[in-house]
A and B are shown apart, each in its own frame.
Chain A
């Protein structure tokens, strides 16, 4: 049988070939269309390999415990690159165009969207100091030292002042991709994370300006420059950084406004949510402004407004999709980094590499210590020694530096030496610092991130403390952060939200967070109860008790505690079961009667399982959300009402009218 199959396939091939060659008018059964898909095919194959690699790491538990994912990916890239190089197949290297236009934006957008805004603003002073002054200090210190060393002819290639400053500006930038990759695995507390990460994100403004500035200076040549050019260079900081932020704000407003009106075409909302921030990035690139700051600011701002404009299900999907894009990009970047190591033009100069590494580490440490010393005089929350250590150690370099170094014009002779040194520094930070950071963090007993759900108590009290502290600040005659926050929130609730969000009345205070917290916690409780119920039904009582009594006690309602005591005392299961049913019904009733916008049929999902239910639910929902007065006169709704069980719908309608 198989031999017949084999012969058959062979014949197909042969005929196909023959048909192609003969170039006749015969019908082509089978053609080989590689050229049409080669680019895209290669890209998808890379993506697939990268994703499979990641799965593999998680399976190889012993290795993935001490080696961070990013280093493993680089190794795989290296291996692949070597294989391709040996077989002299074409392997694409990471060209800066692909990197900056396609791979970087999703990661930065993810960073901006999931940024804890509150923590960011509380630490804005330190973040700005680190990103601006820290980067400037690093650039000039590293560049200066390397320049000094080159006067003693310690390096094999020579460079001008401006050329070395180009190099030092790109090598001194902390890389957000690398920081996310490493810090996400070690779960340091939010305070440290936001400082390192905020710095990494915002120093792009400084790095880009310095890089462009020195690049054009180098090309123009130092003889042709006047003081005016230097001044213009200095001014461009503000323009680039602020311009990027302004673009981010503009596009955030655009997204919020468009999602406000997409209620009837809800499937389109995610299109705006993804396309507009990307446009922000491209627009900023086009105008030579900081595209990274642009897309990050856009993500940060738009989150609260679109949350009110799209359904929770859609918000969830958006969340997952953003994460997916960012993860894939990150994976591909690291893999390509390994790959490009083989394919780039190298010039290995040991002195230069060691010098660069040494200065990077040294000047970062000095910079952090000095800056923290100054900052601590003005801050309530001080940087401890441990914090300072993690901050300096967390100065990881990554793919952005590589992207910048390969786009140095080839006219600069020292470029291969720079490329090699950049790759060396990146490898050092990703491998050595990446591997050692986890044991170090544990050894220094750095406070870890709190991994638990916020309780209702905390949501309420946090709000309450905000108001209280703002009041005390007023009494003490001090304009502090709390006053600013409260003023902004009031302005936000009163003016901005009604414009950018649907169904928002003009309020003086914003309670939506508290209400959302309450709804979320109640929902989680109900789900937990439901899952307990089903596991009792299947008879696996013991394990459930163990699981649920060890999970956090704080969010549990007192009846639930009663329940556990019940279970532990081994009472009979039937009474347990009825108690559960009551609880569950009570919870579900609470949920259903609470919000006026509760969906009827179709379970409130945006996208139904098939087209039949889609049509049914759409007619229901459209009717539901017209104004209450029109409800009775709508034929579709009335038809449904007459057909349905009646009681529950009537109750819902009454609730809807009442609220």
Chain B
């Protein structure tokens, strides 16, 4: 999915998006105007730089990991890393963060999809495993300045050990899900998109 540079949002598109996700018309229009405001060069798609121009994201320690996850999830076949995000892909990823509704059984904001997003952020080299080194990098970016590297190692070791059920030294997606079993992911990873 390369660059469908449609600057105007057509009604059919809105309909399609409404079927795919649980957004209603107003929300989609609102997200579209957000998309346009992020797309400063008016190219009809977003590149990594556009994301990193969001000032709050720049101060966020996990900023570039989040952007990375957006682009990874956007690519349909997984090998080909996306460099550009069109509006459909943008909305589809944000749909992951909709609150889970009991009415519509939608594939995009299920618990598993939310967890997948979180997992992809950790998995730097995209091999579907979180290794100890990858985990240390993330931990370091979150808390690195405050603790010694020794403490960092120990915390990382401890966390990996707790989650690593098959003892292969890395965490697979299933192990990640199981570790987060008791956390209320549905609530934590939901954003209320205003009408």
What is the interface of chain A, defined by CB distance below 8 A to chain B? 378-381, 450, 452, 455-458, 460-465, 467-478, 480, 483, 486, 490, 507-512, 514-515, 518, 521-522, 554-555, 557-558, 590, 594, 659
Q: B159 at the A/B interface (Cβ < 8 Å)?
A: yes
User: Cβ of B162 and Cβ of A457 under 8 Å apart?
Assistant: yes
User: Cβ of B188 and Cβ of A465 under 8 Å apart?
Assistant: yes
10 other contacts beyond A477-B37, A515-B143, A558-B167, with CB at 8 A cut-off? Answer: A452-B182, A456-B162, A461-B179, A474-B60, A475-B66, A476-B31, A476-B94, A507-B145, A518-B155, A594-B154
Cβ contacts under 8 Å, B139 to chain A: 460
Per DSSP, chain B at the interface is helix
**How would residues 39 to 80 of chain B score, 1 for a CB under 8 Å from any chain A CB and 0 otherwise?**
000000000000100101101111101100010000000000
User: Cβ of A475 and Cβ of B158 under 8 Å apart?
Assistant: no
Cβ contacts under 8 Å, A467 to chain B: 60-62, 142
Selected contact of B147 from candidates A452, A480, A508, A511, CB within 8 Å: A511
Selected contact of A509 from candidates B97, B143, B179, CB within 8 Å: B143
User: Cβ of A458 and Cβ of B192 under 8 Å apart?
Assistant: no
Q: B14 at the A/B interface (Cβ < 8 Å)?
A: no
Selected contact of B191 from candidates A457, A476, A508, CB within 8 Å: A476
Cβ contacts under 8 Å, A555 to chain B: 162
Cβ contacts under 8 Å, A475 to chain B: 38, 51, 54, 57, 66, 70, 94
Cβ contacts under 8 Å, A471 to chain B: 56-57, 60, 62-63, 66
The chain A residue with its CB closest to the CB of B146 is A511
Selected contact of B62 from candidates A380, A464, A514, CB within 8 Å: A464
> Nearest Cβ distance between residue B178 and chain A, in whole angstroms?
10
User: Cβ of A509 and Cβ of B61 under 8 Å apart?
Assistant: yes
Q: B105 at the A/B interface (Cβ < 8 Å)?
A: no
User: Cβ of A468 and Cβ of B142 under 8 Å apart?
Assistant: no
- Tell me, in angstroms, the Cα distance from A522 to B162 when the chains sit together: 12
> Nearest Cβ distance between residue A6 and chain B, in whole angstroms?
68
Q: B190 at the A/B interface (Cβ < 8 Å)?
A: yes
Number of chain B residues whose Cβ lies closer than 8 Å to a Cβ of chain A? 52
User: Cβ of A594 and Cβ of B188 under 8 Å apart?
Assistant: no
- Tell me, in angstroms, the Cα distance from A230 to B187 when the chains sit together: 43
3 shortest interchain CB distances as A-B pairs: A511-B143, A477-B34, A511-B146
Cβ contacts under 8 Å, A659 to chain B: 148
Cβ contacts under 8 Å, B31 to chain A: 476
User: Cβ of A462 and Cβ of B194 under 8 Å apart?
Assistant: no
Number of CB contacts from chain A to chain B under 8 A = 138
Q: B29 at the A/B interface (Cβ < 8 Å)?
A: no
- Tell me, in angstroms, the Cα distance from A457 to B155 when the chains sit together: 10
User: Cβ of A468 and Cβ of B118 under 8 Å apart?
Assistant: yes
- Tell me, in angstroms, the Cα distance from A472 to B60 when the chains sit together: 10
> 8 Å CB contacts to A: which residues of B85-140?
94, 97, 99, 118, 121, 138-139
User: Cβ of B57 and Cβ of A594 under 8 Å apart?
Assistant: no
User: Cβ of B183 and Cβ of A461 under 8 Å apart?
Assistant: yes
The chain B residue with its CB closest to the CB of A490 is B59
Sample 12 A-B pairs with CB under 8 A, ordered by A number: A378-B192, A381-B187, A452-B182, A457-B179, A458-B180, A460-B139, A468-B121, A472-B66, A475-B66, A511-B146, A515-B147, A558-B167
User: Cβ of A455 and Cβ of B162 under 8 Å apart?
Assistant: yes
> Nearest Cβ distance between residue B38 and chain A, in whole angstroms?
8
Cβ contacts under 8 Å, A483 to chain B: 56
Given A469-B188, A507-B146, A511-B146, check contact A476 B57 (CB 8 Å): no
Cβ contacts under 8 Å, B138 to chain A: 464
- Tell me, in angstroms, the Cα distance from A458 to B155 when the chains sit together: 12
User: Cβ of A380 and Cβ of B191 under 8 Å apart?
Assistant: yes
User: Cβ of A456 and Cβ of B155 under 8 Å apart?
Assistant: yes
Cβ contacts under 8 Å, A378 to chain B: 192
Q: B161 at the A/B interface (Cβ < 8 Å)?
A: yes
Cβ contacts under 8 Å, A468 to chain B: 62, 65-66, 118, 121
Cβ contacts under 8 Å, A462 to chain B: 183, 188
> Nearest Cβ distance between residue A41 and chain B, in whole angstroms?
52
The chain B residue with its CB closest to the CB of A594 is B151
- Tell me, in angstroms, the Cα distance from A512 to B142 when the chains sit together: 12
**How would residues 152 to 177 of chain B score, 1 for a CB under 8 Å from any chain A CB and 0 otherwise?**
00110011011110010000000000
- Tell me, in angstroms, the Cα distance from A463 to B60 when the chains sit together: 12
> Nearest Cβ distance between residue B165 and chain A, in whole angstroms?
9
> Nearest Cβ distance between residue B133 and chain A, in whole angstroms?
16
- Tell me, in angstroms, the Cα distance from A378 to B194 when the chains sit together: 8
